[in-house]
Amino acid sequence: MATLTKAMEANPGARPLLHSDRGSQYTSREYRTVTTQYQITRSMSRVGKCIDNAPIESCFGHFKTECYDLKMYKTFEELVTDIDTYIYFYNNQRFQEKNNGLAPLEMRNKAVA
């Protein structure tokens, strides 16, 4: 909770989504109090469904190897900017073999057309 509080105090006005895998922090009263205090949207996986985490784990795994591990960040803001830029890139421009060479958003749009 200290890390979450520190992150929110460093970013006043932020209203993030926080995903959990139903660990002990998610079920604690303090977690609910802190996330409510900072207007954080809570999200969690269903019980026994670790596959729920697969898309985000994949995205951030790629982020770490393609961006984060290659750079030394001087400020938190610089890291946030890189994360935002990479998420846009990942969803709109990063072609994926599993999607027949399409970016995730292209694949989604094709599926709903």
Model confidence pLDDT, tens digit, residues 21-47:
666 666 788 888 988 999 888 877 666
The phi and psi torsions of 93 (rounded to 5 degrees) equal -130, -20
* 73/89 same-domain check: yes
In a domain, 111, yes or no: no
In a domain, 68, yes or no: yes
In a domain, 7, yes or no: yes
* 54/95 same-domain check: yes
* 5/29 same-domain check: yes
What span, in angstroms and rounded, lies between the C-alpha atoms of 46 and 52? Answer: 7
Q: Give the pTM.
A: 0.53
* 31/55 same-domain check: no
Give the DSSP letter string of 41-99: EEEEPPTT-GGGGHHHHHHHHHHHHHTGGG---SSHHHHHHHHHHHHHHHHHT--BGGG
- Each residue of 49-106: pLDDT tens digit? 666 667 778 888 889 998 889 999 999 999 999 999 988 888 888 877 777 777 878 8
Q: Is 100 helix (H, G, I), strand (E, B) or coil?
A: coil
In a domain, 108, yes or no: no
What total of structural domains would you count in the chain?
2
| Residue-range definition of the domain harbouring residue 14 | 1-44
